[in-house]
């Protein structure tokens, strides 16, 4: 595993290239941010809930650009409408952005820009099979959907939601960083009896080759400082910290839907083995016992969702 949680490690340089509003089929509009960086050529993303969460690099004024240029790349306040001419001011909503005249940097104004508040965050690694090909080998698609839902709602059970604000950082590191081709080979080894960790090691890959430093850089660029991190993985708490700029103030667990419901979530032998490996081999903080969904009822206290505040 690539663990680069030491604060002195330099972060990658990231730059938000474009931002656009995406109406969704399930809830509020989201703002999709596409990032370039100095470590790889992949198009990493941030899925942002809330118009006022602003990328510093996107909104930075650039030499020679016009207001139209700014609107086209998404560096506007409020909402676009036909005929709008000013990016930095929305006359309909009475909002305007302020900039440092010398540097062109966005000045943080609480009326237009979210800052210094606890923000629900998920750092998600791309999973083509789980998100697009309906795979029941892992719970990535379910976790992705659940994270988005929690960001839209005020609360769900014991968990306080984002009430329309939050960030899903979407990193292009398929298969714990080994790529889709190698991941498919690992699946064949799993069908031959290996678990997730063993299969990666047999293919000469680390059990987990992901690198979350880009995620930290993207969160800082978005002006996020206090993270409420949606994860069951204790290592990820460290991955969301970069003091003094970024800190994880709370870990919010994500209990698999299939553990609390006989109807929702993924019910398959593969997913049970996958979750078992996460807990037993990778230290995920899911509740034991691991006699999975068939024996777990809604009233079982072991499935109770709790949040743990870090000090
Ligand atoms: Zn997956």
CATH of the domain at 269: 3.40.50.10990
Q: Are residues 50 and 78 in the same domain?
A: no
Record the pTM.
Answer: 0.84
Residue 97 is part of which domain span?
56-107
Determine the distance separating the centroid of ligand 1 and the alpha carbon of 131, expressed in angstroms.
Answer: 7
Q: Are residues 37 and 178 in the same domain?
A: yes
3-state secondary structure 199-254: HHHHCCCCCCCCCCHHHHHHHHHCCCCEEEEECCCHHHHHHCCECCCEEEEEEECC
Q: Are residues 24 and 60 in the same domain?
A: no
**C-beta contacts of 133-140 below 8 A and 24+ residues apart:** 136/266, 136/267, 136/268, 136/270, 136/271, 137/187, 137/190, 137/268, 137/270, 137/271, 137/274, 138/271, 138/274, 139/256, 139/265, 139/266, 139/271, 139/274, 139/275
Helix then strand then coil, in percent of the chain rounded to 5, is 30, 20, 50
Q: Are residues 88 and 166 in the same domain?
A: no
Q: 108: how many CB neighbours lie within 10 A of its CB?
A: 15
Q: Are residues 184 and 152 in the same domain?
A: yes
Catalytic-role residue among 88, 90, 139, 208: 208
Q: Is 184 contained in some domain?
A: yes
Q: How many domains does the chain have?
A: 2
Q: Is 73 a known active-site residue? A: no
Q: Are residues 170 and 94 in the same domain?
A: no
Q: Are residues 253 and 286 in the same domain?
A: yes
Q: Are residues 62 and 183 in the same domain?
A: no
Q: Are residues 191 and 68 in the same domain?
A: no
Q: Is 262 a known active-site residue? A: no
Catalytic-role residue among 54, 70, 73, 210: 210
pLDDT of the chain along its 311 residues, tens only?
A: 444 445 458 999 999 999 999 999 877 899 999 999 999 999 999 999 999 999 999 999 999 999 999 999 999 999 999 999 999 999 999 999 999 999 999 999 999 999 989 999 999 999 999 999 999 998 899 999 999 999 999 999 889 999 999 999 999 999 888 999 999 999 999 999 998 889 999 999 988 888 899 999 999 999 999 999 999 888 788 889 999 999 999 999 887 776 666 777 777 777 777 777 777 776 776 654 333 333 333 333 333 333 333 32
- CA dist 249 and 176 (Å) reads 25
pLDDT in tens, 181-212: 999 999 999 999 998 889 999 999 988 888 89
Q: Are residues 129 and 85 in the same domain?
A: no
- Residue where a domain stops, chosen among 42, 77, 107: 107
């Amino acid at each position: 595993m690539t663990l680069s949680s030491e604060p002195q490690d330099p972060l990658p340089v990231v730059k938000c290239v474009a931002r656009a509003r995406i109406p969704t089929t399930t809830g509020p509009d989201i703002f999709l941010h596409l990032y370039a960086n100095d470590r790889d050529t992949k198009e990493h993303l941030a899925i942002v809930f809330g118009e006022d969460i602003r990328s510093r690099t996107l909104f930075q004024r650039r030499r020679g650009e016009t207001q139209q240029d700014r609107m086209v790349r998404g560096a506007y306040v409020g909402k676009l409408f036909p005929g709008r001419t000013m990016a930095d001011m929305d006359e309909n909503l009475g909002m305007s952005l302020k900039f440092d005249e010398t540097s062109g940097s966005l000045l943080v104004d609480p009326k237009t820009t979210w800052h210094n508040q606890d923000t629900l965050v998920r750092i998600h690694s791309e999973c083509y099979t789980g998100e697009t090909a309906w795979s029941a080998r892992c719970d990535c698609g379910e976790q992705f959907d659940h994270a988005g839902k929690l960001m839209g709602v005020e609360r769900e059970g014991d968990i306080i939601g984002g009430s329309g604000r939050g960030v899903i950082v979407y990193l292009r590191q398929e298969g714990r960083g080994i790529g889709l081709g190698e991941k498919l080979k690992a699946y064949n080894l799993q069908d031959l009896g290996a678990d997730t960790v063993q299969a990666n090691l047999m293919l000469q890959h680390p059990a987990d080759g992901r690198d979350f430093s880009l995620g930290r850089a993207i969160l800082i660029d978005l002006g996020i400082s206090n993270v409420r991190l949606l994860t069951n993985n204790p290592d990820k708490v460290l991955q969301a910290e970069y003091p003094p700029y970024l800190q994880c103030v709370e870990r919010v667990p994500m209990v698999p839907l299939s553990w609390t419901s006989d109807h929702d979530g993924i019910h398959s032998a593969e997913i049970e083995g996958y979750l078992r490996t996460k807990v037993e081999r990778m230290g995920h903080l899911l509740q034991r016992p691991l006699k999975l969904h068939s024996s777990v009822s809604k009233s079982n206290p072991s499935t109770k969702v709790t949040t743990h505040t870090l000090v």
